[in-house]
Amino acid sequence: MLLGVVRRLASVVILLFGVLAVVFILGQRAPGNPGRQLLGLNAPQDAVDALNHKLGVDRSLWTQFWSYIGNILHGDLGRSYSSSEPVNGLIWDRFDATAWLLVAGLALSLILSITLATLAARYRGTWIDTTIRLFTVTSIAVPTFWSGLLLVLLVALPTGWFPVGGFGTTTADHFRSIVLPAVTLAIATAPIQVRVLRANLLESLGSGYVEAAASRGVPRRRLLTRHALPNAAVPAIAVVSIQAGYLLFGAVIVENTFRLPGLGSGLVTAITQRDYPMINGITLLFAVLVISFSLIGDALSAIVDPRVRVS
């Protein structure tokens, strides 16, 4: 057991190192340089060179990389090229909006997928099942930014119930601001969960223990919610943990569509400004979060299903 945990943690460290190395080297190998990007076309070359020297980007790639890794081990992600502020602080400032979006998006996505999958399984082969399956197919096909734009055009602008963008300053503002972005994320992620859960539910409903329960006169609704659903949930947990990682990348698009000041919009801004410390910092955090979601998924599966624990 302990060996398994150690092995898993070692693979996490190697994975994180690999992610950092790839992002760092790709950023450095891209044409152009931050000094010119920040000072613009008209700046004299000596000013550009001086800024590049100040930022340390004129050192060799490996010197920069090992220095960066050393700083990370001390908890220092560096300073943003564009604002000169510490990256740790900038990421923390943006974490709030992304956390709200992820939690709300995941919650909505789970509510939507459990409801729709249960309905589809309960009314298998009826128009309800067909409609839900059609919804899942079309939702997968619709790009996230487009569904976000539709919600702005058809809900936010005509009704004024929700802001078209921003995050506000109070908790009440945050609640109002997060509804449409969370719905957008849920629309993007729920369909796959619905399909997986529906298939598992149908399999469970056809299994011997459910038939035995049915023969004892257990009501159909109870059969579905108490017997079939918990068993169908085990494989779905793995899907949801992967989907949680997807939510993070969906957040990049959704945050830009709704102008949420989160990590996703921060990443886009950093990329356009060639702000390598910010790009590396956010990417590292994303990698940590994706791995964490995966570990949490594994742990939940193990709690719910003893077979996973044994394996």
Q: Which of 165, 176, 202, 203 binds other proteins (CB under 8 A)?
A: 165
Q: Which of 23, 24, 78, 82 binds other proteins (CB under 8 A)?
A: 82
Total residues at the site for other proteins (CB under 8 A)? 54
Site for other proteins contains 127 (CB under 8 A) = no
Q: Which residues are CB-neighbours of 37 under 8 A, at least 6 positions away?
A: 273, 274
Name the residue nearer to other proteins (CB basis): 235 or 261: 261
- CA-based nearest residue to 110, from 100, 99, 118, 98: 118
* Shortest reach from residue 289's CB to other proteins, in Å: 20
Name residue, tokens 């990698």.
287
d(CA 153, CA 151): 6
* Shortest reach from residue 79's CB to other proteins, in Å: 11
Q: Which of 83, 115, 126, 207 binds other proteins (CB under 8 A)?
A: 83
* Shortest reach from residue 194's CB to other proteins, in Å: 15
Site for other proteins contains 235 (CB under 8 A) = no
- State the number of CA atoms in the 13 A half-sphere of 141 facing the CB: 6
Please calculate the CA angle 140-146-149 and round it to the nearest 5 degrees: 140
State whether residue 300 is helix, strand or coil. helix
Site for other proteins contains 299 (CB under 8 A) = no
Site for other proteins contains 153 (CB under 8 A) = yes
Name the residue nearer to other proteins (CB basis): 164 or 308: 164
Q: Distance of alpha carbon 111 from its chain centroid, rounded?
A: 17
49 with 35: CB under 8 angstroms? yes
Site for other proteins contains 38 (CB under 8 A) = yes
d(CA 230, CA 246): 24
118 with 229: CB under 8 angstroms? yes
Site for other proteins contains 30 (CB under 8 A) = yes
* Shortest reach from residue 311's CB to other proteins, in Å: 41
* Shortest reach from residue 23's CB to other proteins, in Å: 17
Name the residue nearer to other proteins (CB basis): 132 or 228: 132
Site for other proteins contains 93 (CB under 8 A) = yes
Site for other proteins contains 157 (CB under 8 A) = yes
Amino acid at residue number 193: Q
Q: Which of 16, 72, 128, 149 binds other proteins (CB under 8 A)?
A: 149
Name residue, tokens 């629309």.
187
Class of residue 188 by CB neighbours under 10 A (exposed 0-12, middle 13-18, buried 19+): buried
- CA-based nearest residue to 247, from 94, 93, 146, 98: 98
CA distances from 161 to 147, 155, 180, 212 (A): 18, 8, 10, 50
Q: State the binding string over 248-267 for other proteins (x if CB under 8 A, else -).
A: --------xxxx-x---xx-
Site for other proteins contains 166 (CB under 8 A) = yes
Site for other proteins contains 36 (CB under 8 A) = yes
Q: Which of 88, 273, 292, 294 binds other proteins (CB under 8 A)?
A: 273
Handedness of CA 23, 25, 31, 37 (dihedral sign): positive
Residues of the shown chain interacting with other proteins in the complex, contacts defined by CB under 8 A: 30-45, 47, 80, 82-85, 90, 93-94, 135, 138, 142, 145, 149-150, 152-154, 156-157, 160, 163-166, 256-259, 261, 265-266, 268-270, 272-274
